[in-house]
Amino acid sequence: MINMAPRMTVIDDIYQCDSERDSSARHPRIISLANQKGGVGKTTTAINLGTALAAIGESVLIVDLDPQGNASTGLGIDRRDRNVSTYDVLIGEAPLRDAVVPTAVPRLHIAASTMDLSGLELELGMTKDRAFRLRDAITALNGNAADNADYTYVLIDCPPSLNLLTVNAMAASDAILVPLQCEFFALEGLSQLLQTVEQVRTTLNPNLSIHGIVLTMFDSRNNLSNQVVADVRQFMGSKVYDTMIPRNVRISEAPSYGKPVLVYDLKCSGSEAYLKLATEVIKRERDLRTTH
């Protein structure tokens, strides 16, 4: 049994300082890509889902909340050019729009990160609004923009841990998208993440939901992959996207060229999968609007 007590303490401490906030500004759909396990395809999915959404006409901002900054690097943003980063935004020294830079993909922008983010939790300490820094920054983002500069989607690439950065992302988000690698311990990690989502929903963000679970690094030749798919679909039902991201060498190569796989090789199976995933995400968004 996984002990969640330390995380409960972090979130509950923040909850004690919570206060009502105004969220009346124009609101993009905010989706966090989260999983406390590393190497499951969070950053790859953020980059390529963002690219695919932009390709079908959405205006997309990726917020890099991982101190490693792989989403920024994978979209060709040199570390020397990250003059204003998500760290500056979260400590209150810059508005989010100042950290936003264009990418080579039309309609896709990114707020890049730096290693400074790794010290954020210590720096903010017990600051009253520490869980809502990102939410407030995103609220101001479209509120201060011309109508044609509005983002329709904000994708947040979370670090591989359930720390203050991830709590900030969840407190700011409408929904969580969970990339899940087709490997043996997948369900164990998923259970822990779902507990954290429920804690955040109870204490910080009552509107938070699970948008869906995308199975990554799927290899149909591997019996274990097929078994994991069956188990996850049985456990999570319709929350699992139909689209699965295959294990594909072109997906692995693309970041070293600073490109999404859809730009690096549009015809490969990985690119086709991310385009299908984007279509599925949009369809779920329409269904959500219909039911509310």
pLDDT digits (tens, 9 = 90+) for 248-284: 999 999 999 999 999 999 999 999 999 999 999 999 9
**Digits of tens for pLDDT over the chain (292 positions)?**
334 334 444 454 554 444 444 433 457 999 999 998 888 989 999 999 999 999 999 999 999 999 999 999 999 999 888 999 999 999 999 999 999 999 999 999 999 999 999 999 888 888 888 999 999 999 988 765 555 568 999 999 999 988 999 999 999 999 999 999 888 777 777 888 899 899 999 999 999 999 999 999 888 888 888 888 898 899 899 999 999 999 999 999 999 999 999 999 999 999 999 999 999 999 998 887 776 6
Which CATH number is 25-291 given? 3.40.50.300
**Cα 256 versus chain centre, distance:** 21
Among 189, 239, 238, residue whose Cα is nearest residue 42: 189
Give me the amino acid identity at 141.
L
pLDDT digits (tens, 9 = 90+) for 36-80: 888 898 999 999 999 999 999 999 999 999 999 999 999 999 988
- Residue 257 has what pLDDT? 94
Among 286, 275, 214, 285, residue whose Cα is nearest residue 55: 275
Which pairing describes strands 153-157 and 209-218: parallel, antiparallel, or unpaired?
A: unpaired
What is Dmax (Cα atoms) for the chain?
52
Task: Answer whether 108's CB lies under 8 Å from 60's CB.
Answer: yes
The C-alpha torsion from 240 through 249 and 186 to 202, rounded to 10°, is -60
Side by side, which strands form the sheet with 153-157? 100-102, 108-111, 60-64, 153-157, 29-33, 175-181, 209-218, 240-246
Among 145, 159, 130, 129, residue whose Cα is nearest residue 63: 159
pTM for the model: 0.88
**Cα 227 versus chain centre, distance:** 26
- Residue 143 has what pLDDT? 67
- Residue 26 has what pLDDT? 54
Every domain of the chain and the residues it spans: 25-291
Retrieve residue 200's tokens. Answer: 């955040």
